[in-house]
Structure 1
């Protein structure tokens, strides 16, 4: 699980907007860009090239 302080300062690398934790706590979602940034081994992968487009609302 991500530290609340870290989550508060993370931003989408594409639009610089806020991100939110998924319900399963396995990724971060940017609602503005509709992208999912995975969390692997408790590390958020905040790379635009590795982000996955969202098909459905999480």
Structure 2
């Protein structure tokens, strides 16, 4: 099965929808992490899901 990978260059155009802050790419978990918002947004089939309702809350 071939997995579509996220292109880290997309980080230049993406911000956290809640804080408008920067995001970090977590390749291991396939997530974009907003440290300010304490949220991790999933990446599905190479596409980041930038919905607060879909994000995982971080401690």
TM class by smaller structure: 0.7 to 0.9
Deviation per CA, 1:5-43, whole angstroms, max 9, x where unpaired? 311111000011000101415000000011000001111
What SS does structure 1 have at the residue aligned with 2:40?
strand
Which structure has more RCO (C-alpha within 8 Å, separation ≥ 6)? Answer: 2
Which TM-score applies when normalising by structure 1? Answer: 0.82
Deviating runs (4+, > 4 A) in structure 1? none
Task: Tell me the C-alpha RMSD between the 2 structures.
Answer: 1.4
User: Can you give the 5+ residue segments of structure 2 that lack an aligned partner in the other structure?
Assistant: none
**Which of the pair has more CA radius of gyration?**
2
Where do 1:29-44 residues align within 5 Å? 29-44=33-48
User: Can you give the 5+ residue segments of structure 1 that lack an aligned partner in the other structure?
Assistant: none
Aligned residue pairs, count: 55
The answer to whether 1:48 aligns with 2:21 is no
Which TM-score applies when normalising by structure 2? Answer: 0.81
